[in-house]
């Protein structure tokens, strides 16, 4: 049974934000040493505030998968997220891909992130999303770490073909990885025997808005499932500093249509019902 709106019976979808700054994205990692992060102009706090205003004006609550690194430096914005009625979740401490780490390293990173986020917010953190969707059937051990660290759900699969990530053969909808751990994949639409991205990322900025709207409607009506959508604070910031070094493809994906993101998000927030992940997916399993 899915969460439905009390007034019109529409399916309530889940909205999420991956809270990281423009210089922490995996596609730029080879060109921006971690040691330089502290010296770069940070935009994440002002961009999260922009998102909080956007959500407040639409009356929408969401889930913020936040880096421990961000929470340590900007505790006030973490409190504003929680005070706004949103769910705080974990994106790891330092944006390391699980595929670049071993069991012990990965477990330490996601444990540290959970502790920092809980200390800063005073709230229990239930959810984890791996940087660049780097957890999946190929490194199943990472799910054991996520459960061991005390998380109740993961949202680390995007069941599509992509050159940097993706698990195209993974289940498309919410499922128990094993007892005690739910996986909530980013939404895809099934067409022509393939899965197509329908839950955000560069595709949302690349393709016309109506493609995303049609896809989410299709998932709600045909699959009878809530959609799970994600975006980043830097996607709403056309004035962010330009990073030199990454190839043309990485730059195209990162900077494309940033100025269209704000009006598109406003349409998305009004065209569908949205809520926090824990309320959409965990309510009946609580």
Under the rule (CB under 5 A), what is the footprint of Zn ion?
18, 20, 131
Which of 16, 220 has the CB closer to Zn ion?
Answer: 16
To Zn ion, the closest distance from the beta carbon of 186 in angstroms equals: 12
Which of 42, 211 has the CB closer to Zn ion?
Answer: 42
CA atoms of 81 and 88, how far apart (whole Å): 7
Which of 21, 183 has the CB closer to Zn ion?
Answer: 21
- The values of phi and psi at residue 130, to 5°, are -70, 140
To Zn ion, the closest distance from the beta carbon of 236 in angstroms equals: 15
Dihedral sign for Cα atoms in the order 250, 255, 260, 263: positive
Burial of 93 (0-12, 13-18, 19+ CB in 10 A): buried
To Zn ion, the closest distance from the beta carbon of 24 in angstroms equals: 7
CA atoms of 235 and 257, how far apart (whole Å): 9
- The CA-CA-CA angle for residues 75, 255, 166, to 5°, reads 80
CA atoms of 189 and 71, how far apart (whole Å): 34
Helix (H, G, I), strand (E, B) or coil at 232: coil
To Zn ion, the closest distance from the beta carbon of 149 in angstroms equals: 18
Which of 19, 174 has the CB closer to Zn ion?
Answer: 19
Which of 26, 220 has the CB closer to Zn ion?
Answer: 26
To Zn ion, the closest distance from the beta carbon of 172 in angstroms equals: 21
Q: Give the CA distances from residue 180 to residues 2, 33, 151, 153, in Å, rounded to whole numbers and listed in that order.
A: 19, 37, 9, 8
């Amino acid at each position: 049974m899915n969460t439905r709106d009390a007034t019109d019976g529409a399916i309530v979808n889940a909205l999420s934000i991956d809270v990281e700054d423009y210089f922490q994205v995996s596609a730029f990692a080879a060109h921006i040493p971690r040691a330089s992060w502290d010296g770069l102009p940070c935009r994440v706090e002002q961009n999260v505030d922009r998102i909080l205003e956007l959500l407040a004006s639409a009356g929408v609550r969401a889930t913020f998968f936040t880096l421990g690194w961000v929470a340590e430096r900007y505790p006030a914005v973490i409190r504003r997220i929680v005070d706004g009625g949103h769910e705080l979740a974990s994106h790891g401490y330092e944006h390391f891909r699980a595929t670049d780490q071993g069991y012990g390293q990965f477990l330490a990173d996601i444990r540290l992130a959970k502790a920092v986020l809980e200390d800063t917010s005073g709230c229990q953190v239930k959810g984890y999303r791996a940087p660049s969707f780097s957890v999946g059937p190929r490194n199943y051990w990472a799910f054991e770490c996520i459960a061991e660290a005390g998380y109740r759900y993961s949202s680390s699969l995007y069941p599509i073909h992509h050159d940097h990530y993706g698990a195209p053969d993974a289940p498309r909808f919410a499922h128990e990885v094993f007892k005690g751990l739910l996986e909530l994949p980013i939404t895809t639409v099934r067409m022509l025997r393939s899965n197509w991205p329908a839950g955000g990322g560069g595709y949302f900025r690349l393709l016309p808005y109506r493609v995303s709207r049609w896809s989410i409607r299709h998932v709600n009506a045909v699959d009878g499932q809530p959609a799970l959508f994600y975006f980043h604070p830097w996607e709403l910031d056309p004035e962010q500093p330009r990073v030199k070094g990454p190839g043309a493809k990485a730059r195209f994906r990162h900077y494309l249509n940033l100025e269209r993101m704000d009006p598109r998000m406003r349409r998305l927030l009004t065209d569908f019902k949205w809520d926090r992940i824990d309320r959409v997916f965990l309510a009946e399993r609580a």
